[in-house]
Structure 1
Amino acid sequence: MQIQLNSDNRIVASPALLARVQADLEQELKHVASAITRVEVHLNDVNGPRGGEDDKRCLLEARIKGSQPVAVESRAPTIEQAITAAAGQLHRAIKTTLGKSGGAEKRHASIRHSPPEEPET
């Protein structure tokens, strides 16, 4: 799973921040990581120097094999809180998408789709 970090000019995309993002995403997405090719991370300081309660924004967009991309957004007082909340949302959204794309149907066989039984002779 490739992780691409993008930030605005008010958030410094330091190696420490990239390591934090990678650790959060790998921990949260470990059960669905095989279905993900890339995660794009967009970090923004929404209000700039004015600040505010939910001033930091994290947008995550996951590219999933054989499916449309999934995007989630979280806002929080700190960038770390926004990243953690968005990672949890992304995990739930990917599980939902994978379930809708046929993963659940493939695991549960249906009687209606079974081949007819041979009559006993």
Structure 2
Amino acid sequence: MQIQVNASNGIENKDALERWADGEIKGVLARFLDEVTRVEVHMSGETPGKSGGGDKRCTMEARLAHHQPVAATHDGPTQDEAFRGALAKLKRLVEHTLARIEGRRDRDSIRKDVDIAPE
């Protein structure tokens, strides 16, 4: 699984953030190593035009093998809260998406072994 971290100018300690994010993501998504090929993280500071407490935003996109990518976004007052919120959402989204895909594979087709007798 490849991890790519992109940070805007409002984000401090980009190198430390990249190392920390890599370990956190690989730890949380470890059981999906075969299904998730890449995770892109986009951290940005101060969301313009937004009222409320969220002045950091984290968006994560997981690329799934042979499937469409999924993405999650979370706003928070700190980088840590925005990152952890987005990672928790992404984990649930990956779990749900892969469970839904597996559920489709496990079902039998209604068209299977259908014998239609001519009248």
Q: Structures share a fold, TM > 0.5?
A: yes
Structure with the larger helix share: 1
- What is the SS of the residue equivalent to 1:54? coil
Contact 1:6 1:13 in 2 (8 A): no
CA 1:86–1:10: 2 relative to 1, 3 Å = same
One-letter amino acid matched to 1:92? R
One-letter amino acid matched to 1:88? A
| Equivalent position of 1:33 in the other structure | 33
- What is the SS of the residue equivalent to 1:104? helix
Trace 1:1-121 onto structure 2 (pairs within 5 A).
1-12=1-12, 14-47=14-47, 53-101=53-101, 103-106=102-105, 108=106
CA distance in 2, matches of 1:109, 1:47: 44
CA distance in 1, matches of 2:9, 2:107: 52
Deviations 1:4-44 (A, max 9, x none): 11111111352211111112211111111210111110000
With structure 2 as the length reference, what TM-score do the two structures score? 0.79
What is the count of residue pairs matched by the alignment?
A: 111
Q: 1:113: how far off?
A: 9.0
One-letter amino acid matched to 1:82? A
Unmatched 5+ stretches in structure 2: 114-119
Q: Percent identity?
A: 33
Contact 2:7 2:14 in 1 (8 A): no
CA distance in 2, matches of 1:85, 1:47: 16
Contact 1:37 1:65 in 2 (8 A): yes
CA distance in 2, matches of 1:33, 1:85: 21
Q: 1:86: how far off?
A: 0.8
